[in-house]
Amino acid sequence: MMRTGAHADLEAGHVSSPRGGASAASAPATAGQEQAEAQGGSFPKDLFLAYKTLGVVFGGLVTSPLYVYPSMNLASPTKDDYMGLYSIMFWTLTLIGVVKYVGIALNADDHGEGGTFAMYSLLCRHADIGILPSKKVYSEEEPLIHNQSAVDRRPSWLGKFFERSITARRVLLFMAILGMCMLIGDGILTPAISVLSAIDGLRGPFPSVSKPAVEALSAAILIGLFLLQKFGTSKVSFLFSPIMAAWTFTTPIIGVYSIVRYYPGIFKAISPHYIVHFFLRNKKEGWRMLGGTVLCITGAEAMFADLGHFSKKGIQIAFLFSIYPSLVLTYAGQTAYLINNVNDFSDGFYKFVPRPVYWPMFVIATLAAIVASQSLISATFSVIKQSVVLDCFPRVKVVHTSQHKEGEVYSPETNYILMVLCVGVVLGFGAGNSIGNAFGVVVIMVMLITTIMLTLVMIIIWRTPPALVALYFIPFFIMEGAYVSAVFTKIPEGGWLPFAVSMILALIMFGWYYGRQRKTEYEMANKVTVERLAELLARPEVQRVPGLCFFYSNIQDGLTPVLAHYIKNMSSLHAATVFVTLRFLLVAKVDERERILVRRLGPSGVYACTVQYGYADSLRGDDLAAQVTSRLRRHVEADEAARLEAAWRAGVVHVRGKTRFYVGEDAGWFDKVMLGFYEFLHGICRSALPALGTPLQQRVEIGMLYKV
């Protein structure tokens, strides 16, 4: 492989967008559009999608009764304490689950995609608040949300503040990335706490089973689950929804039985005055117990994050008519039992299960915990894959395990890191309340970030009246702020782990994204025009050498600066040169007629080619070269086709740049730190070109320094 001293990588998997990679909105047929079409479907279709969400979206949320009460460090609890705790959980589920997510957040999608980064992408497209403000962030043709007029499109006062402050824009980007990383932290803790809490049910009938034995069995189940990931979930995914449906509809039945038997007046606790009395009575300890009650809403963020895979109506129907009533009745039944058995909170789920159905419920609970774990593991793979595609994360290997479902992906590096962390959590923390302490940090932080970003969407995009914005923001910020303050006291007791993992991931993503954006900015400012290429080739010292060259570039309008560097240093260009831009589209497969788009550039024997591909398409360098050459032959004159054939026979070479940043002494400290970090990440991540499978002997890398 030849190197001449510099580097501009091939952007395999890069999504073209006006902002240089922050959104996939420019794709002609996106997952979001498919989701939008689903929203317009019939009620039976929405009902079927609602059923499917049980096994994918709500696994973490609906299994939370397994570990909420065991995660609380209660000291001599009383009936009034349990009434207060149930009241807190009821209103948390109602306000955060029903009002915030189902009623408001599901409307803040970006072309059908949900999650914190989707909201960031939405904000960037409607206001100039990206970290590189020179980029155009929306097109005139793009339909406006809520039928905004042209006047409404002008930045609001808050939008103008972000446009003026680079620090505010960086904080906003970091916040969006941190929210996404918290979901990955969820993927570490949900499998650990769900499986451990389910298997702990063995200790009821068999008191001789020790805690270490439960931990070892849980770890073995998790290792087996992670080792099976490479085969994909298609073969067993049809079981997910039935298992979760069995769990969702059996636990409230037991809850009703427990209410009738132990304490029929439990629903008096819906009155908020029980919450007031709880805090007046317990003071600081009551506030600390919020770190346990917050787990009742864990997994609610998945409603928004998984929006792109299901219809909004389907998610709303599933939550309002199955998940929400199931959790309300299950927690009511648990609390009714505990009011009469105040010291059984450490095993608050299995103790309230009637003896005749204990073993069936143990089996269902274990299967439900495994499904919930699988859902979070799959979601983590999906988040990593989307981050790589959107150029927000260093390239890792991503394998599509299904030709029909975009969401079924597998990343070997991610899988084994998750496995080590999950097993480490089970064996290192062991006790349910210790993992609960860690879990609470992840749960509430992502929700607080969502609240803040949703407020920005209301002000900047929806132009919601200030009174309504305040009516949303103030109650939720106070409530979630109280939860955050409580769970942060748990950081020394285990909460440090997910917080540290999320912060490390967020720094990696922020550094990578910032570096890629600066790279795009440099390339757009220094791109080679067709006229400039003609001038370079007209120089007497530049020769056209035999052979066919595929020169990879990530610039749609113009040519990479590496080209000028290459011609100046090599004093040559191949007789036939094709500048190839790869464009990833969020569809399964791109129609063969639209796969390869070619056009002739000014100089003789120089062509531009855009290759569009979907997530289930296979791209191999040798096949790609043959397809591009074949397409070119069909679009040129006979004598030109003959020259292409001769160039093909003379030999094929694949050229890409390997760019590095040169950070001058006059650069600011932020650029020095972040671009230095980006260079480190770039050095250890996977190369893009080998993903095409191009033969090693045909690869050439051209080095170049990009001066900042």
3-state SS assignment for residue 658: strand
CA 643 to chain centre: 47
Q: Is the pLDDT of residue 32 over 90?
A: no
CA 536 to chain centre: 44
More confident residue, 483 or 404: 483
pLDDT tens profile 542-599: 999 999 999 988 777 788 899 998 898 899 999 999 998 888 765 667 787 888 888 8
Q: What is the DSSP letter of 144?
A: P
Residue 576 parent element (H or E): strand 572-584
Q: What percent of the chain has pLDDT over 90?
A: 26
pLDDT at 381: 81
Query: What ranges do the domains of the chain cover?
Result: 43-112+182-283+293-430, 513-707
C-alpha span between 99 and 472 (Å, rounded): 10
More confident residue, 9 or 227: 227
pLDDT at 368: 92
Residues 354-364, mean pLDDT to the nearest whole number:
93
Q: Does residue 326 contact residue 248 with C-beta atoms inside 8 Å? A: yes
Q: Is the pLDDT of residue 632 over 80?
A: yes
Give the DSSP per-residue string, 18-74: TTSSS--TTSSS-HHHHHHHHHTS-HHHHHHHHHHHHHHTSHHHHTGGGTTGGG---
Tokens of 200: 């702990």
Q: What is the DSSP letter of 662?
A: E
Q: What percent of the chain has pLDDT over 70?
A: 84
| Lowest mean pLDDT across 139-153, 196-210, 516-530, 659-673 | 139-153
C-alpha span between 172 and 168 (Å, rounded): 6
pLDDT tens profile 58-87: 888 899 999 899 888 788 889 999 999 999
- By the 10 Å C-beta count (0-12 exposed, 13-18 middle, 19+ buried), 201 is classed as buried
Cross-strand partners of 652: 548
pLDDT at 430: 65
Q: Is the pLDDT of residue 293 over 50?
A: yes
574 CB-near residues (< 8 Å, 6+ apart): 544, 545, 546, 547, 548, 549, 605, 647, 653
| Lowest mean pLDDT across 7-16, 92-101, 106-115 | 7-16
Confidence band of 361 (pLDDT split at 50, 70, 90): very high
Confidence band of 449 (pLDDT split at 50, 70, 90): very high
pLDDT at 177: 84
C-alpha span between 223 and 188 (Å, rounded): 13
pLDDT at 693: 66
